[in-house]
Structure 1
């Protein structure tokens, strides 16, 4: 009897990275592969949302084997602060031997490949030591991946640090100019800081993978994809093959949530494409100050448009705390907007909301998963980046994709009520808003084509599986030859 073909996935400790990798697991199952997931114990991260998502997904995917790696002693809890990346990468290195032991125990199960989260790419050295093909999964855009691949070569040529460049545009191969200030905060640190050094070391390891799966589809980012395939992208280095296998979107993280959310019933009663949806990412990361919440409320009220707004307590409060809407929002706001607006605490089923016929626009923090959810729903967007690579995503959404407008006040630290009102009116009422809507609808259609039989993403996934099989066959032949 032929042994089952197994793929091992090694996701990171982020909801936004874990969920697309579990959608990859579903795709692998559909192609007849067995899937095992190696996990660092979610308890090491002070993020109740991540642990809850892992439990729900594991319960909803009984065909996938989930294995929590044996704990490393004296592991400090991870908190989101200025040194998070340094501690996170140190944690991953501590678990390398645990991962090695797990993979070694799995060899009898005919492991074809290991796919690691791109932030965990140091683990590829463990994978290669065992003679297993090793790939990474990049859960943001192809454009961001192209930028990350090029950053280490820029400073190698000398010149000022990214921090010193400020808003000076970086000219990167195959990409529009990117202000240095829009890069990851970790590379805007001083050159001698631990955070900067650890992040750049991470980016320098990009070419070590046998290939990279990117959660995008080719027609959405044609220029960036072409750049990644050009030898001039990173002079002197060969980038591994890139497989654009997305868009991986869906409500897999909401598995086990059986009751229909109240906001969906409210949307059922609204006219088509009449509601502005505001949501800013996972619990604990998309928080605004009390002043900012009030500005949003006044702007929404004055716009006169219907809205569905997910509100979280300010970041200074306990993450995930139940917000006191009466204390946070202007006096009388809830009464004045009753029927026209709905404020939801903490969370809403974003994919279902975006795909609802009543939703007409999306105010987003530009996290890549949210961008793809907006794209596949065909909804025009208003960009309000907060952290990570979201400023870079904003550039591409407003520029090459042409599906969004920017809330520029984020650059001064406060989006005023007047801008909220003006931009909501723009996307919902103006000719420019209609053009955004048309391009968003075209992107939705393109995403469907890419994911259908014969589409670019389906073909890319088949190419990935064929490359894995070829590497596995070569490895087996070499073992026979050595014997």
Structure 2
């Protein structure tokens, strides 16, 4: 009797990674595979994850979740960075992954094991069991090109990128990138996360394939560089890359359901293409002084706005918060005195969260001020909304170059070199520029059509997915 065939997916800890993998799982199940998603326990756990997986299990019976045994992350030295703690946690889960894969393969044929980049240490135990390993890369092709090329950049220098002021790096498939704008984990050689990322990126060519949440028409320069193998150490042994996006997460449930309805109702009352929507992802945040500059710029711009404000950071240099659930805060205390009252006829400020996919789909939204996180970029593209690019951390500076230079769906804010600060005058200037730009609006609309076409029956992403699934035919362990 033939065994059932399954695909096993392994995301990093945290709701964002889990949601991305679930979206991939939903796509794969349309090809009649059952899916098992391995979930870590002990780091970045949150009740929302449990609620979410219950909802997915109920609505998609062919997707099941398997909890790995609890691991205590506090045994990691407290002196290391947050990112290093996460990497260490993933590494310590490798034995649990090996045990679980062995168990699953006793009753089921595992056709593929799909991991994210930060779970690279799970590659070896899977390969030793004869299971084909694939990466699911949730950023775009330009970032994949950069990470694939990173081992070569590492060999060419012996100082930290953060100290290479004034130096531009030239990476296949990418616009020139300031060394100081490299993604965080690889900015500082003294941080153990740097060496972890070097190890992860060195293993990229060893995968059977790399699945990317992008589509061929979105960033053709990077897609070609990756396909040609130009960014891999040995172009002849470059892995096959499958661009299967755009994958957009389904609207998330939130405790702030009442606030969600309020902001959507407010948007429905505004004129077409009149509102500037500002949101900086689930973790992007600012100091109080930066928040006040944004407020001043919005007020002087004269345009309508919907602004999601997160709890402020404690210092100017920090652009993100790791604990997104921590503490309420008083909006009026972090914004200029009287700002909310003065702008109440044309602006709405909401605290912490808004239903972004629904917001961007509203006819009244004419611009999106974004931190350039890849999910947000794709959501803006699919909605056909022009963007103002304001990168904060991670690989967002790379994405900004693609959005402004290649996609031409965004204008970029000028940021102060030393700390990324943006003046109120600059906010006002860019809001006015984008809201008045017919050219960027038309380009955004065209790219939206290409995004929709990519996932149609004869689209490039649909074909790429079919090619991927075809490679699993006949594979067994």
Cα deviation for residue 465 of structure 1 reads 0.5
SS at match of 2:134: strand
Give the counterpart of 1:335 among 337, 341, 345.
Answer: 341
Change (3 A) 1:469 1:387: same
Larger mean CA deviation between 287-296 and 138-147 belongs to: 287-296
Displacement of 1:52 in angstroms is: 5.9
Residue aligning to 2:284: 286
Match of 1:436 in 2: 440
Q: Using the TM superposition, name which of 290-299 and 153-162 deviates more.
A: 153-162
Cα distance in 1 for residues equivalent to 2:426 and 2:34: 51
Contact 1:141 1:368 in 2 (8 A): yes
Q: Which of 197, 200, 210 lines up with 1:199 in the alignment?
A: 197
SS at match of 1:218: coil
- Residue 261 of structure 1 contacts residue 349 of structure 1 at CA under 8 Å; is this kept in 2? no
Match of 1:86 among 84, 87, 95: 84
RMSD: 2.4
Structure 1 residue 403: deviation in Å? Answer: 0.8
Q: How far is 1:166 from its partner?
A: 2.3
Q: 1:229 to 1:80 in 2, by over 3 A?
A: farther
Hey, what's the Cα distance between the residues in 1 that align with 2:400 and 2:18? 22
- Alpha-carbon distance change, 292 to 123 in structure 1, aligned in 2, over 3 angstroms: same
Q: Which residue of 2 aligns with 1:299?
A: 297
Question: Which residue of structure 1 lines up, in the alignment, with residue 136 of structure 2?
Answer: 137
State the shift of 1:208 in Å. 1.6
SS of residue paired to 1:409: coil
CA–CA separation in structure 2 for the residues paired with 1:82 and 1:184: 17
- The residue aligned with 1:20 is 20
Partner residue of 2:225? 227
Greater shift in the superposed pair: 171-180 or 211-220? 171-180
Give the Cα separation in 1 of the matches to 2:284 and 2:76. 18
The answer to whether the aligner puts 1:455 opposite 2:454 as a matched pair is no
Aligned to 1:125: 124
Instruction: Count residues with an aligned counterpart.
Output: 465
Counterparts in 2 of 1:409 and 1:448: CA distance versus 1, 3 Å: same
Aligned pairs (5 A) from 1:74-223: 74-76=72-74, 83-107=81-105, 108-158=107-157, 160-190=159-189, 192-223=190-221
Corresponding residue SS for 2:391: coil
SS at match of 1:385: coil
- Alignment correspondent of 1:381: 387
What is aligned with 1:480? none
TM value normalised by structure 2: 0.91
| Contact 2:409–2:440, Cα closer than 8 Å, also in 1 | yes
Instruction: Please give the per-residue CA displacement for 1:273-311, whole angstroms capped at 9, x wherever unaligned.
Output: 1100000111xx212111111111111111111100001
Deviations 1:102-150 (A, max 9, x none): 1111111222111111211221111111111111100001010001101
Q: CA deviation at 1:416?
A: 1.3
Taking structure 1 as the reference length, the TM-score comes to 0.90
Shift of 1:5: 2.2
Structure 1: unaligned runs, 5 residues or longer: 477-483
Summarize deviations over 1:222-261 as a string: whole Å, max 9, x none.
1111111114332435221100000001325438987762
Mapping 1:212-361, distance limit 5 Å: 212-236=210-234, 238-254=237-253, 261-282=261-282, 285-316=283-314, 319-320=324-325, 321-361=327-367
Summarize the Cα distance change of 1:256–1:247 in structure 2 as closer, same or farther, 3 Å threshold.
Answer: farther
CA shift in 2, pair 1:87/1:23, >3 Å: same
Q: 1:481 maps to which residue? A: none
